Chains A and B, each alone.
Chain A
Amino acid sequence: DAGVIQSPRHEVTEMGQEVTLRCKPISGHDYLFWYRQTMMRGLELLIYFNNNVPIDDSGMPEDRFSAKMPNASFSTLKIQPSEPRDSAVYFCASSLGRFSGNTIYFGEGSWLTVV
């Protein structure tokens, strides 16, 4: 398997623009996670899905952030409008089965810079 695939790998955008990050989880995995990583706050869980259904979005910072998973092989994280403080690395990850020790497989991340 190719692993978790994210795009774009790097994005530079102007404040106020819409940003869409994309993710293809590992085939067969039923959990999908979106994390954000910054130097100040580390790796934060934004939202996770089980079988394409959002289960917990309590980590989403504000209404400017939204995530969807229209099918088992695709998810998006959208920021509209973007702000400089959204600059971070956004990781998509997936796992097989519920928590309780199941390995989380991460993509290589989408590096977002908002100027």
Chain B
Amino acid sequence: SQKIEQNSEALNIQEGKTATLTCNYTNYSPAYLQWYRQDPGRGPVFLLLIRENEKEKRKERLKVTFDTTLKQSLFHITASQPADSATYLCALEKTSYDKVIFGPGTSLSVIP
């Protein structure tokens, strides 16, 4: 069956450490993968997009990798801060020019 999986458990890390979140998918062939941040009571907010021909993308303290062979994307936050605490969602097109679907999200807590 087709599905997207993210870290099933909430992730708790110490301030200053690197947080790594995982997004795995099966039976899709996305041309793009996106990461969003969602704070409690708010709508998701776009963070980063990575294309299938890109291995890595960076934006300030954020880094995303995309391995189409493993069908996996990793999302890293370096030098994490308590303000990074939120739920992070990965999203992808099932195939090129198809609708975007979202993973279940991973809750991240950065402990001071």
Q: Which residues of A approach B to under 8 Å, CB–CB?
A: 4, 35, 42-43, 45, 48, 56, 91, 93, 98-101, 103-109
A40 to chain B, nearest CB (A): 10
> Which of A48, A101, A103 is close to B51, meaning CB atoms less than 8 Å apart?
A101
CB-based contact B103/A42 at 8 Å? yes
Q: Give the residues from 1 to 58 in chain B that come closer than 8 angstroms, CB to CB, to chain A.
A: 31-32, 34, 41-46, 49, 51
Chain B, residue nearest A95 (CB): B100
Question: Chain A CB within 10 Å — which of B45, B99, B100 has the most?
Answer: B100
CB-based contact A109/B43 at 8 Å? yes
- Residues in A whose Cβ lies below 8 Å from that of B46: 103-105
Q: Is residue B79 contacting chain A, with contact meaning CB distance below 8 A?
A: no
Give the complex CA separation of A25 and B1 in angstroms: 33
> Which of A35, A43, A100 is close to B32, meaning CB atoms less than 8 Å apart?
A100
CB-based contact B98/A99 at 8 Å? yes
CB-based contact A48/B99 at 8 Å? yes
Known: A99-B99, A101-B51, A103-B49. A93 touches B43 (CB 8 A): yes
> Which of A4, A43, A98, A99 is close to B102, meaning CB atoms less than 8 Å apart?
A43
CB-based contact B99/A91 at 8 Å? no
- Residues in B whose Cβ lies below 8 Å from that of A104: 34, 44, 46, 91, 100
Pairs of residues from A and B, 5 with the lowest C-beta to C-beta distance, nearest first: A106-B43, A101-B32, A43-B102, A42-B104, A103-B46
- Residues in A whose Cβ lies below 8 Å from that of B89: 43
- Residues in A whose Cβ lies below 8 Å from that of B104: 42
CB-based contact A101/B31 at 8 Å? yes
Give the complex CA separation of A30 and B104 in angstroms: 26
B35 to chain A, nearest CB (A): 11
Give the complex CA separation of A108 and B97 in angstroms: 26
Give the complex CA separation of A114 and B105 in angstroms: 25
Chain B, residue nearest A105 (CB): B46
A16 to chain B, nearest CB (A): 28
CB-based contact A101/B43 at 8 Å? no
CB-based contact B99/A45 at 8 Å? yes
Q: What would 30 A/B residue contacts be, using CB atoms closer than 8 Å? A: A4-B43, A35-B102, A42-B105, A43-B102, A43-B105, A45-B99, A45-B100, A45-B101, A56-B99, A93-B43, A98-B97, A99-B32, A99-B93, A99-B97, A99-B98, A99-B99, A99-B100, A100-B93, A100-B96, A101-B49, A104-B34, A104-B44, A104-B46, A106-B43, A107-B43, A108-B41, A108-B43, A109-B41, A109-B42, A109-B43
